[in-house]
């Protein structure tokens, strides 16, 4: 008991003297929310720079051009006069997309032939490519249906509005659940905040774990189990408080409503925090000091985020990659947190709790054993060198 109280006093003293630890714990995720929250405030991508080449220059082609001009997805930056000029705009990135209406567009469209509009886009950024290509398909499809209805109505003297139902008898009514605008703030921001939250725990706990390695005199005969317990309680409590602030930042600062019970979110976070702390003890035990650990920990977030399946689905990864992903705590946390916020439930909630609990047990057993070996090695008496005169 006395040893635990002594370690608790030492740990709190370390935190007071090393303010980087609370800064990492409380500042990392909140900083990500602030910076990327401002970045994703528009929530959707609009006004993609686009050039138009109207080789036909007819009344019909100008009508199609006006449809593209009226779309929020495009910002028409230039009207070029040749394909070379159009491709040059794409090459120097003054435009992301280009629309080429051929010289016989109106003739073919009005005589029953098939007319093709060429759509070019810079595929280097798939987000812009997907947005603009979908918009182009919708605009041309709607234009084609209206044109067909007009021509049939004029030829046979029928009501254009009725003809339109025969021309396009099937319509798709798109209803996107839980993220109606398909905004990137709802999709991306929560995951980024969870990555930063995890990184704050790693930096703070890593600095604490390696302090005893560099200053073994602070142990004063305390057992490794007591050291692990005190550090876990202290940083687990602080991390949970930090997580509560993150929830407040997401709900009150960014206006993203939490649709699930708060208790579910906190329970998931608690087990996730323990798993990350256990992983940190294991990871930190391989480094001689805090600085090398921090250098290595900086490399961790990117592969961790990729393997988590937050952006690229785990189901689309190879079998070996799917297996590796199971050993990252974030894999069983970030997607579930997003589901709880946006949907209000997660079909894998119980399974994620079980997997995180398994990782927690694994990391504390292996990490505690490795950390114990490291501390014993540092506290072992070093033989003095024998000198001869």
Q: Say yes or no to pLDDT of 1 above 70.
A: no
Task: Check: CB of residue 123 under 8 Å from CB of residue 131.
Answer: no
d(CA 179, CA 194): 19
Q: Is-contact 191 334, C-beta < 8 A?
A: yes
Q: Where are the beta strands (DSSP E) in 10-158?
A: 48-54, 74-80, 97-101, 118-121
Provide the CATH topology of domain 48-167. abc type-2 transporter like fold (3.40.1710)
Q: Per residue in 214-272, pLDDT tens? A: 776 666 667 778 888 999 999 999 999 999 999 999 999 888 899 999 999 999 999 99
The per-residue pLDDT for range 163-177, each reduced to its tens digit, is 766 676 777 777 878
Query: What pLDDT score does 388 carry?
Result: 46
For the chain, how many helices (H) and strands (E)?
A: 16, 4
- Paired residues of 49 in beta bridges: 75
Is pTM beyond 0.85? Reply is: no
CA angle (345 as vertex; 342, 348 as ends), nearest 5: 115
Query: Where are the domains positioned within the chain?
Result: 2-39+182-378, 48-167
Count Cα neighbours of 227 within 13 Å in the Cβ-side half-sphere.
25
* pLDDT of residue 382 exceeding 50: no
pLDDT in tens, 27-77: 989 988 888 887 777 667 788 899 999 998 898 889 999 999 998 888 999
Kindly report, residue by residue over 77-128, the tens digit of the pLDDT. 999 989 889 989 988 888 989 999 988 888 887 777 778 888 888 887 888 8
According to DSSP, the residues that pair with 247 across neighbouring strands are none
Rounded Cα distance, 121 and 290, in Å: 48
């Amino acid at each position: 008991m006395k040893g635990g109280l002594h370690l608790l006093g030492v740990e709190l003293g370390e935190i007071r003297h090393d303010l980087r630890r609370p800064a990492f714990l409380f500042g990392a995720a909140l900083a990500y929310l602030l910076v990327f929250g401002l970045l994703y405030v528009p929530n959707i991508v609009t006004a993609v720079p686009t050039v138009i080449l109207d080789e036909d220059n007819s009344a019909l082609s100008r009508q199609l051009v006006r449809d593209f001009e009226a779309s929020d997805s495009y910002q028409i930056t230039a009207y070029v006069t040749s394909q070379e000029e159009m491709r040059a705009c794409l090459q120097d990135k003054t435009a992301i997309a280009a629309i080429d209406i051929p010289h016989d567009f109106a003739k073919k469209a009005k005589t029953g032939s098939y007319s093709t509009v060429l759509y070019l886009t810079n595929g280097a950024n798939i987000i812009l490519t997907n947005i603009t290509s979908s918009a182009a398909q919708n605009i041309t499809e709607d234009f084609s249906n209206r044109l067909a209805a007009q021509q049939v109505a004029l030829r046979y003297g029928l009501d254009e509005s009725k003809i339109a139902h025969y021309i396009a008898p099937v319509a798709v009514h798109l209803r996107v659940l839980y993220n109606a605008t398909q905004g990137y703030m709802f999709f991306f921001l929560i995951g980024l905040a969870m990555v930063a939250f995890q990184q704050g725990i790693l930096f703070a706990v890593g600095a604490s774990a390696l302090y005893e390695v560099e200053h073994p005199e602070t142990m004063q005969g305390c057992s490794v189990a007591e050291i692990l317990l005190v550090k876990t309680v202290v940083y687990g409590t602080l991390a949970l408080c930090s997580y509560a602030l993150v929830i407040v930042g997401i709900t009150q600062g960014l206006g993203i409503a939490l649709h699930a019970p708060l208790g579910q979110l906190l329970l998931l976070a608690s087990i996730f925090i323990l798993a990350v702390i256990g992983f940190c003890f294991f990871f930190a035990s391989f480094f001689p000091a805090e600085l090398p650990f921090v250098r290595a920990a900086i490399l961790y977030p990117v592969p961790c985020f990729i393997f988590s399946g937050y952006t690229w689905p785990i189901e689309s990864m190879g079998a070996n990659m799917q297996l590796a992903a199971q050993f990252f705590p974030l894999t069983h946390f970030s997607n579930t947190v997003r589901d709880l916020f946006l949907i209000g439930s997660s079909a894998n909630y119980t399974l994620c709790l079980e997997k995180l609990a398994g990782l927690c047990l694994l990391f504390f057993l292996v990490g505690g054993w490795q950390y114990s070996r490291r501390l014993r090695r540092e506290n072992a008496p070093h033989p003095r060198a024998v000198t001869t005169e």
